Amino acid sequence: MTNKESLLELKNVEMVVNQGTADERKILRQINLEIKEGDFICLLGGNGAGKSTLLNVLAGQIKPSQGEIFYQGKNIVQESEVKRSSYIARVFQDPKLGTAPRMTVAENLLLAAKRGERRSFRLRRLKDHEAEFKKELAKVNPDLPEKMNVAVDQLSGGQRQALSFLMATYKKPKLLLLDEHTAALDPKSSKKLMEATNDRIQNQHLTAVMITHRMEDALKYGNRLIVLDHGQVVKDYQGKAKDALTLQDLAAFFD
Amino acid sequence: MNLIVSAIGQGFLWGVLGLALYISFRIMNTTDMTVEGTFPLGAAIAVSLIVKGVNPLLASLAAFFGGALAGLVTSFLITKGKIPSLLAGILTMTGLYSVNLRILGKSNVSLLGQKTIFSAKIFRSLPQYFDSVFLGTIIMVVVTAIVIYILMTDFGQAFIANGDNPQMAKAMGIKPGVMTATGLMLSNGLVALCGAVVAQNNGYADISMGTGTIVIALASIIISEVLFRSLDLASRLFAVTLGSIIYRLLLLAVLQIGLSSDNLNLISAIVLAICMMLPQVEGKLHLKKTVVRSLKEA
């Protein structure tokens, strides 16, 4: 626990929108956060607490108004989302955002297998990967292996999101960002995907930050729980302190 | 008979235009108006080079690169200038009018007595109009095969993904700017090549020959999509040329009714409008079967 290496560090990260106007609003305030290798962090907070913004800042989709982000000691605050994709992967809340709808399941996975790499003018050689794709698909959703050559827009939301999740983790990322990735699914698919997610994070020893609205999930999964409120980190439970938490404790934050 | 052969030949020659537009319109999901300027640009480059004594094949190749350059300008306006793609295309197109006039020197330059890619010996032994069918087929097959190859590489797959879902593409490490530039360069290069070939077939380059090209190209695409609903990408790219041929035959049929060729652009627009409205209309009137059948028999 104590000898884990620091993977990512946020220093005084602030995010202000509509700066200098009457609508000026601070979405993130003075965020100081260290993410250690192997952490599985559940990020909890009410609507507008800044959870998604924090994830967007980590992914590089938006640049913070202030502050620094260090990845393995290197300041990456100016690095683009595209560049960070070689070590940061993410799954969006909307199943439609994470996949290319007109391409097949296998074609999508092939893109994921080369996440963050230079794309060459060599033929794609889809066949070489098929066996491996089938094996990995079976791990996240039992129906997907038969749908390798089906266009993604023909899949159900649950299947599509399971594919998005596999795509984010197919090539092991150093940091996995999950933005309420099970929230848009029906209870059954949601539960299945959450279990597949947990299995994969444990088996591959991934470092992950997961936004969730479900307090049960926040208690059940992960080794660390961070509560965000009005753009600030108000609680950060780790290890045993997290294990000791109860639903009542968490519910108290939202009263 | 001659008229039909001629129409088929034109369909093949203009098929490359449809293919080029398919890249921007369908794969990249952008409506690129630049083509209305790059088509005459290709014609102007090829014709003025041929008149200067340059080998017609080299002149056509030069036209491709000229068109690609115009595509690069549009992509620069979109990615660096953050100008909406439709407007960016219109800007380049408008600018190109002056560029084209400058290249041509006057509004119309004839190729009378000049060697073109249609002057090769084999074509002289062919019956009338078969030269355009023959050469058109070769160009179409070669160009389509090259485009399919590119799309089937890792780069091409990333390119398709970027058009399909830019958000996901970025998360996968695909650079949107590079993709937009490559796509618009390839697409406009092919449009200019098509302009060069059509000009050599017509025997002249005209400053206004770009008007309506986007409608012609879209018509080829939409007709092929109405007739062949679900095709894989490779077959779809070939089917676009088929759409282009059918479009030419439709025009021929309309002209045969007795309308003069002055109405060509109006007819083109109406044909495209009808084709694009088909999915709406057929849903209401259950026209699908009858229309598709009659189009297939046409």
State how many domains chain A has: 1
Beta strands in chain B (DSSP E): 108-110, 204-206
Domain assignment present for residue B264? The answer is no
Q: Does residue A135 lie in a domain region?
A: yes
Cα-flanking dihedrals φ and ψ of residue B141, to 5°? -65, -45
**In the predicted structure, residue B224 carries a pLDDT above the cut 60:** yes
Q: Which residue has the tokens 């033929």?
A: A123
Radius of gyration of chain A (CA): 19
Write out pLDDT tens, residues A37-91.
Answer: 999 999 998 888 899 999 999 999 999 999 999 999 999 999 999 999 999 999 9
**Cβ–Cβ pairs < 8 A, chains A and B:** 86
Structure tokens at A14: 């602030």
Rounded to whole angstroms, the Cα distance separating A40 from A197 reads 11
Name every chain B residue with its beta carbon within 8 A of the beta carbon of A59: 171
Residue for token pair 């794969």: B27
Hey, are the CB atoms on B168 and A97 less than 8 Å from each other? yes
Range of the domain at A156: 100-117+124-165
Give me the mean pLDDT over the A220-235 stretch.
91
Quick: pLDDT tens for B166-212.
999 999 999 999 999 999 999 999 999 999 999 999 999 999 999 88
Instruction: Report yes or no on B206 lying in a domain.
Output: yes
pLDDT at B100: 97
Element of type H or E holding B284: helix B264-285
Q: Is the pLDDT of residue B298 over 90?
A: no
In a domain, A196, yes or no: no
- What is the pLDDT at residue B285? 63
Say if CB B132 and CB B12 are below 8 A apart.
Answer: yes
**Which residue in chain A is spatially nearest to B167 when comparing CA positions?**
A97
Query: Is residue B67 in some structural domain?
Result: yes
Helix (H, G, I), strand (E, B) or coil at B173: coil
Contact A103 B168 (CB under 8 A): no
List of E strands, A65-172: 66-71, 74-75, 88-91
- Give the span between the Cα atoms of A51 and A175, in whole angstroms: 16
Report the b/e string of A120-152 with b at 16+ CB within 10 A. Answer: eeeebebeebeeebeebbebbbeebbebbeebb
A165-209 pLDDT per residue, tens: 999 999 999 999 999 999 989 999 999 999 999 999 999 999 999
The parent domain of residue B26 ranges over: 2-212
- In chain B, the number of structural domains is 1
- Tell me which chain A residues have a C-beta less than 8 angstroms from the C-beta of B170: 61, 81-82, 85
Q: Give the separation between CA B82 and CA B88, rounded to whole angstroms.
A: 9
Does B173 contact A117 at a Cβ distance shorter than 8 Å?
Answer: yes
For residues A208 and A198, give the distance between their C-alpha atoms in angstroms, rounded to a whole number: 10
User: Would you say residue B255 lies in a domain?
Assistant: no
Q: Whole-model pTM?
A: 0.90
